[in-house]
Structure 1
């Protein structure tokens, strides 16, 4: 794949710089703590995008002597760091909101400020859509996390504009709406931050591949080895965009090395055709030998769809 996923991060960096200027301008002309919270979140966007560019550069490095499985897990540090930065921004927003509650102030030039905020939201929305496309193409959690964060920024900004827009038609005594909206935005930002941290933690803990991908693996094995083929010890994990699959394949003891090797190649090719960036390792064992069944039934003995249903539950 000739296109580098890093170019999408550059879009995010450029958008963050532009929207930070716009939102800071909107805050300056209105003195609205709500718009200040919007500007602070954009500062987090820029910091996160710069960090994402650095970690994605590391994640794309090929495997080496000290990192035989590559550097893909670096992507999870990016989403985790972005989550932490979001939480820091939320704290700043809450602090500014409390101060504004204590000393109420009516925002000025709201019409102009809200127009600027909407323009910056349009920039973020366009950038997020482009990045989500890139995340799908490259199967990158870094691009997805940054895009989701930008979309969250868009929706919170729209909510902010709608809420502050009410103040255009209300008396000065309604000045409390400004810090109240900022507090609501802070709560939404906290939710987003914890979601990103949870996703990062999940990736670092080597969670198994999702159920639909396990079913694809099972189908690939059965499609090549026959419906009654035996396998066990199925283990899967994901590091960035790279997937790792290994299992024990039980064949007749009379099967030649050449035949076993040929079947394993067919299974590997079939799995890789269904799952991008997949590395498959197969250990062949004679099914007549009791010692072949000493492996834990990770993924289910024979990896049947029934076993997968038992492991993950009926999601329908």
Structure 2
């Protein structure tokens, strides 16, 4: 079985517009990425503690289902942040003889743990809402509750801004999971404020329980989003089409490279792994082929500084495809 190569006219201008680098794994040197993720996860844990303690005190004074929903969400945020705090530090360790591909998937396992926490909390909140819907008891200290929730929104927005910057810089899936938690928490706070105001200043006392129901559904949606991110890395999903196109173009920037075939990519925490075959003129010496491969690696490392790269030189025109045929993809080749 032969595999059609990626082809590029050698006469084409090798300059190209590169895709947006923000939010992509493997772009920063591992040390820089680790420093950013360590700091942002520590900040997330601190904010989680503040939100959880503050909302616990607030719920004890108001007995609001909406505040309770937000409290449970903040509790999940804190435990999820602790999980990410540990995971990013473990994932940043250097590969060694025992883990030659590194430990990057620790971030994905942290995300799976967060999904489990979210689903558990959503189930608990649904039970609480069912119990509270028929009570219709008036809320107390509504003004204090609304003021406190506004404060919680402000500090959550500040954290989201910091997390967004960290994701743009590192592409960390653990930080993405954290940000999904806190983004949901921010909207939770906003809806709780609306529910408190409606319940306190209108006859619609049931609005507070309705907010709790909405938050339970929002938690389940958040779990789905985080699960998709974790699934992609745990199952070694290919990088995006933009990233693969960039890899091919970088490899073929040298006109002596006839084609790129058998390209495989995957992300693992802060790292990415790239392997490919370069089709070269069969008359080249081994030394010349080695020089072409080294220069291709250097170009790729310029854009993917945390990449593990494996390139196999191959004589152009040879129809033999290396490896187990089970792993040949019907979708290949993609165009550069």
TM-score by length of 1: 0.89
1:75 to 78, 95, 107: 107
Aligned partner of 2:265 in structure 1 is 236
- Measured after TM superposition, the shift of residue 292 of structure 1 is 5.5
Aligned partner of 2:168 in structure 1 is 136
Unmatched 5+ stretches in structure 2: 1-30
- Measured after TM superposition, the shift of residue 66 of structure 1 is 1.6
1:304 aligns with 2:329: no
Deviation by residue 1:99-119 (Cα, 9 ceiling, x = unmatched) = 111323111111111111111
Residue aligned with 2:223, SS: helix
Q: Retained in 1: the 8 A contact 2:95–2:103?
A: yes
Aligned partner of 1:179 in structure 2 is 209
Aligned partner of 2:127 in structure 1 is 95
- Measured after TM superposition, the shift of residue 134 of structure 1 is 1.6
1:205 aligns with 2:205: no
Aligned partner of 1:247 in structure 2 is 276
Q: Retained in 2: the 8 A contact 1:84–1:197?
A: no
1:108 to 140, 144, 151: 140
Q: Retained in 2: the 8 A contact 1:206–1:237?
A: yes
- Measured after TM superposition, the shift of residue 73 of structure 1 is 0.7
Residue aligned with 1:48, SS: helix
Aligned partner of 1:24 in structure 2 is 56
Structure 2 CA distance for partners of 1:299 and 1:216, relative to 1, 3 Å:
farther
* Higher RCO, Cα 8 Å, sep 6+: 2
1:66 to 72, 76, 98: 98
TM-score by length of 2: 0.84
Aligned partner of 1:313 in structure 2 is none
Q: State how many pairs are aligned.
A: 301
Once the two structures are superposed, the pairs formed by residues 282-297 of structure 1 within 5 Å of their partners are 282-291=311-320, 296=328
Q: Retained in 2: the 8 A contact 1:216–1:271?
A: no
Deviation by residue 1:30-51 (Cα, 9 ceiling, x = unmatched) = 1111111101111111111111
Q: Partners in 1 of 2:330 and 2:275 — Cα distance? A: 10
- Measured after TM superposition, the shift of residue 276 of structure 1 is 3.7
Aligned partner of 1:308 in structure 2 is none
Aligned partner of 1:158 in structure 2 is 190
Aligned partner of 1:314 in structure 2 is none
